[in-house]
């Protein structure tokens, strides 16, 4: 039982009331640069105002082939990491007259593909992949095919993270960030540095792991598999992983934990506290991302800084440029990361 009021007034009624043709009314309403005499324009605007006319964007989009809709594909919009990016995107989109659709993929290929189809049907002007690419069997190929359909239609697509997709991208330098953070821990005297990895099917998580391993290799420190713990970028599971450290012989225990993202690091912080370990006295902890949250926990978190909101803004700006055929950046733009040292890390006591 769908009740649907239908008093909706179209440009036809506006034209009628103003005593002009529909074409003329349209020209006034849509603000083309087609000349319309001032008296006529006023009549049309007056009629529109009196009738409370609201131009139908759907009809307009159909004719102009521009929906003015863009979408952001995120893992989870309630994750502050994505929330920051989305906010940056939306700011720029809004100013430029685009509306932003947020899609939670939960990092599931099925959901991602499904949304992609829905967005294609909707003729979204642009799509931003905020989350990293998923490395699952056959998936990159299937995803690329769907994305190609969007591109063929004239849609713009970019990624904001390490991704399997061959599209323009703006990315933080995850490899360097992880490498430098690891080097910093080495400088502080740490030799047994544990790494809590992210989901193994997430490209960007693996890049960070690479950075960690690269730094150790440079320092000539062998990588001990026992120090690479599996995490999933969420706080809850991490506590359990950290618990396992207690069972190690003291001389094998890490003196520092480098978590692949901030949420994980905070999970570690909580887990360690429950175990009675003091941070940074007993063990140093650091994360990756520098969420607003990182400054609120106790101890405040040492982490790799990425300016997520700004990257969101830059992403949307680039998307618009592409849509207007004026993107001049090179395909892959890498943004530097920096290390922010706070209270959760310290030099090893000799």
Judged by the rule CB under 8 A, the positions of this chain that interact with its own copies are 1-8, 52, 54-59, 61-62, 65, 67, 76-78, 80, 83-84, 86-87, 90-91, 94, 99-104, 117-118, 120-123, 149, 151-154, 235, 266, 270, 293, 296-298, 309, 323-326
Q: Please choose which of DNA, its own copies, none residue 21 contacts, taking the beta carbon within 5 to 8 angstroms, the exact cut-off set by kind.
A: DNA
CA distance 83 to 172: 16
CB-wise, 101 or 333, nearer to its own copies? 101
Residue 18: closest CA among 44, 54, 38, 42: 44
Report in angstroms how near the CB of residue 223 gets to its own copies at its nearest. 31
How far from the centroid of its chain's Cα atoms is residue 258's Cα? 22
Q: How far is the CB of 2 from DNA (least distance, A)?
A: 10
CA distance 187 to 190: 7
Region of residue 290 (phi > 0: left; psi between -120 and 50: alpha; otherwise: beta): left
Is the Cβ of residue 102 or residue 213 nearer to its own copies in the bound state? Answer: 102
Q: Which entry of its own copies, DNA, none binds 32, CB below 5 to 8 A by partner kind?
A: DNA
Measured from the CB atom, is 27 or 184 closer to DNA?
A: 27
Q: Which does 30 bind (CB under 5 to 8 A by kind): its own copies, DNA, none?
A: DNA
End-to-end CA distance of the chain: 76
State the residues that interact with DNA by CB under 7 A.
8-12, 19-24, 26-27, 29-30, 32, 34-37, 39-40, 53-56, 59-60, 62-65
The C-alpha atoms of residue 20 and residue 46 are separated, in whole angstroms, by 12
Pick one of DNA, its own copies, none as the site partner of residue 244 (Cβ within 5 to 8 A by kind): none
Residue 24 binds which one of DNA, its own copies, none, with CB within 5 to 8 A depending on kind? DNA
Q: Is 14 exposed, middle or buried (0-12, 13-18, 19+ CB in 10 A)?
A: buried
Task: Using CB atoms within 10 Å of the CB of residue 169, give its burial: 0 to 12 exposed, 13 to 18 middle, 19+ buried.
Answer: buried
Name 127's bridge partners: 71, 157
Q: Which DSSP state fits 173?
A: -
Q: Which is nearer to DNA, 22 or 221 (CB)?
A: 22
Q: Which is nearer to its own copies, 67 or 284 (CB)?
A: 67
Q: Number of helices and strands (H, E) in the chain?
A: 12, 12
Q: In what order do the strands lie in the sheet with 284-289?
A: 228-229, 193-196, 256-259, 284-289, 302-305, 338-340
Query: 32: burial class by Cβ within 10 Å (0-12, 13-18, 19+)?
Result: exposed
What minimum distance in Å lies between the beta carbon of 6 and DNA?
8
8-state DSSP, 349:
P
Q: Which is nearer to its own copies, 252 or 295 (CB)?
A: 295
Q: Which does 91 bind (CB under 5 to 8 A by kind): its own copies, DNA, none?
A: its own copies
Residue 100 contact among DNA, its own copies, none, beta carbon within 5 to 8 Å by kind = its own copies
* 54/295 with CB nearer DNA: 54
Given its own copies, DNA, none, residue 80, with its beta carbon under 5 to 8 Å by kind, binds its own copies
32/338 with CB nearer DNA:
32
């Amino acid at each position: 039982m769908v009740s649907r009021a239908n008093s909706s007034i179209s440009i036809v009624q506006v034209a009628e009331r103003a005593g002009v043709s529909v074409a003329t009314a349209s020209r006034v309403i849509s603000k083309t640069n087609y000349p319309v005499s001032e008296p006529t324009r006023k009549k049309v605007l007056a009629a529109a105002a009196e009738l409370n006319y609201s131009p139908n964007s759907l009809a307009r989009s159909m004719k102009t082939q521009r929906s003015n809709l863009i979408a952001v594909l995120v893992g989870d919009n309630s994750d502050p990491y994505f929330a920051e990016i989305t906010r940056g995107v939306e700011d720029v989109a809004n100013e430029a007259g685009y509306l932003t659709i947020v899609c939670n993929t939960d990092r599931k290929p099925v959901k991602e593909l499904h949304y992609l189809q829905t967005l294609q049907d909707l003729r979204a002007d642009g799509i931003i992949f905020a989350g990293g690419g998923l490395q699952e069997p056959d998936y990159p190929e299937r995803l690329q095919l769907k994305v190609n359909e969007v591109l063929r239609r004239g849609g713009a697509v970019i990624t904001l993270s390490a991704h399997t997709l061959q599209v323009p991208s703006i990315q933080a330098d995850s490899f360097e960030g992880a490498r430098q953070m690891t080097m910093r821990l080495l400088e502080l005297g740490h030799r047994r540095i544990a790494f809590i990895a992210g989901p193994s099917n997430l490209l960007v998580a693996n890049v960070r792991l690479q950075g960690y391993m690269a730094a150790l290799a440079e320092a000539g420190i062998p990588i001990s598999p026992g120090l690479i713990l599996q995490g999933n970028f969420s706080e809850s599971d991490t506590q359990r992983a950290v618990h396992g450290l207690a069972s190690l012989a003291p001389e094998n225990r890490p003196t520092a934990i480098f978590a692949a993202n901030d949420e994980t690091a905070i999970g570690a912080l909580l887990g360690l506290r429950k175990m009675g370990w003091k941070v940074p006295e007993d063990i140093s902890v650091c994360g990756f991302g520098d969420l607003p949250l990182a400054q609120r926990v106790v101890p405040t978190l040492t982490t790799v800084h990425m300016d997520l909101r700004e990257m969101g803004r830059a992403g949307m700006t680039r998307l618009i440029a592409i849509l207007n055929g004026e993107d001049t950046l090179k395909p892959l733009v890498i943004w530097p990361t920096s290390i922010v040292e706070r209270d959760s890390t310290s030099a090893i006591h000799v």
